[in-house]
Homo-oligomer: A and B are copies of this chain.
Amino acid sequence: MVMTTNQDQSSPPSFLLEELAKLMGARIKGDPGIRICGLGSIEDAQADQLSFVSDKRYLPLVSQCKAAVLIVPPALEHLDRPLLISAQPYLAMARAAQLFWEPPYLPVGVAATAFIGEGVHLGGGVSVGPLAHVERHCRIGQRTRVYGGAYLGCNVVVGDHCFIYPGVTILDRCSIGNRVIIHSGTVVGSDGFGFAQDENGRHVKIPQTGIVQIDDDVEIGANCTIDRAAFGRTWIQRGTKIDNLVQIAHNVVIGEDSILIAQVGVSGSTRVGKHVILAGQVGVVGHIDIGDGVRVGAQSGVGRSLKAGEDMSGSPVMPHKDWLKMSAILRHLPQLREELRQLKMKVQELDQVVHEE
């Protein structure tokens, strides 16, 4: 297979303002012919770059911002400089940033030092980096990038346009959709944690014979662990985004477009709905249902099923509003007890007075 560099020859992307406006669905204020060569934060953007102000709070920084053009909400279109006006400036910024982004260097083709097992099928434009490992009978879709040091076990299937970063491990038979991004150090398809106890209290391993299925447009952070099912599959559905160091146990199902922040743990066979947000360090017990649109605050412990739309916090969880009130009082618990003690004495005293009479 020929090694071709896909980035050396190409110069970094640049766009005319009018092209950007069309691609982003934004209105222009100023010269449509301005050439934009990148995107930077309001503090750091350079004179040929685009920047953004999503909120009035950042207005004080605008006068010193060197950017050629600013993305702003309609409320700021009075600013006297070239603008891209969008009702959703943060979303517009994300889309612009994607236009300028260049992926980490990896030539198309299979590096000489990669290991490719028998019967592997590589789609057009696939890259496999140095010292990467693609075991027998893998199938990798078009233009997917398997960076150096990544490991795909036997019969793994990866779709089109995926990024499998250095040091990712995807174990045998797992299945990855299209446009999936998996960051370094993440393990997909390790054994679920299942044991039966024998007569002597020893733990007898239940072989984990299922797989992990990850659907289109999922992104998984670094050093996560997603265990294969005991039977059947552990399943991450379309569009869900998972941060770093998250644990997904066997047979868990996570619905579409959900968000799991860093260090969350979801125990076995739990089903999480669509558009759910689990904040950082949340723990969820096994065998429960988390309804669509549920939001759980950081460090919460979810010990029971939650209905769609519930907004919960605490360990164990309670409605977020209750948790806010509760946790404001928590600190005053010693004072509460003292007040109760004094009240008891007062009542005792009153009691004596009343009954002595």
Contact = CB atoms under 8 A, between A and B. Distances in A.
Q: Nearest 7 pairs between A and B by C-beta?
A: A101-B207, A190-B222, A41-B231, A94-B196, A225-B244, A115-B130, A187-B222
Interface residues of A, number: 122
A215 to B, nearest CB: 13
Contacts of A130: 115, 117, 133
Contacts of A91: 196-198, 204
A63 to B, nearest CB: 19
A100, A169, A347, most chain B CB atoms within 10 A: A169
B333 A329 contact: yes
A261 interface: yes
B94 A206 contact: yes
Nearest to A319: B331
Nearest to A316: B327
Interface stretch (A14-22, A73-81, A335-343): A335-343
A135, A184, A245, A339, most chain B CB atoms within 10 A: A184
B95 A204 contact: yes
Nearest to A241: B203
A153 interface: yes
A304 interface: no
30 contacts: A91-B196, A94-B206, A97-B209, A98-B204, A98-B205, A101-B209, A104-B172, A105-B172, A149-B151, A151-B184, A184-B190, A191-B221, A193-B221, A193-B244, A193-B262, A201-B257, A202-B257, A225-B262, A249-B262, A265-B281, A283-B298, A315-B315, A318-B331, A322-B331, A322-B334, A325-B334, A326-B330, A339-B344, A343-B344, A350-B350
Interface string A197-235: 111011111110100000001010111110100111000
B259 A203 contact: yes
Interface of A: 39-41, 43-44, 88, 90-91, 93-95, 97-98, 100-101, 104-105, 111, 113, 115, 117, 130-131, 133, 135-136, 148-149, 151, 153-154, 165-167, 169, 171-172, 181, 183-187, 190-191, 193-199, 201-207, 209, 217, 219, 221-225, 227, 230-232, 239, 241, 243-245, 247, 249, 257, 259, 261-263, 265, 267, 275, 280-281, 283, 285, 298-299, 301, 303, 314-316, 318, 322-323, 325-327, 329-334, 336-337, 339-340, 343-344, 346-347, 350-351, 353-355
Given A167-B151, A197-B91, A347-B347, A183 B172 contact: no
Nearest to A246: B245
**Chain A binding surface, main DSSP class:** loop
Nearest to A283: B281
Contacts of A332: 337
Contacts of A111: 115
Contact of A329 (B105, B219, B245, B337): B337
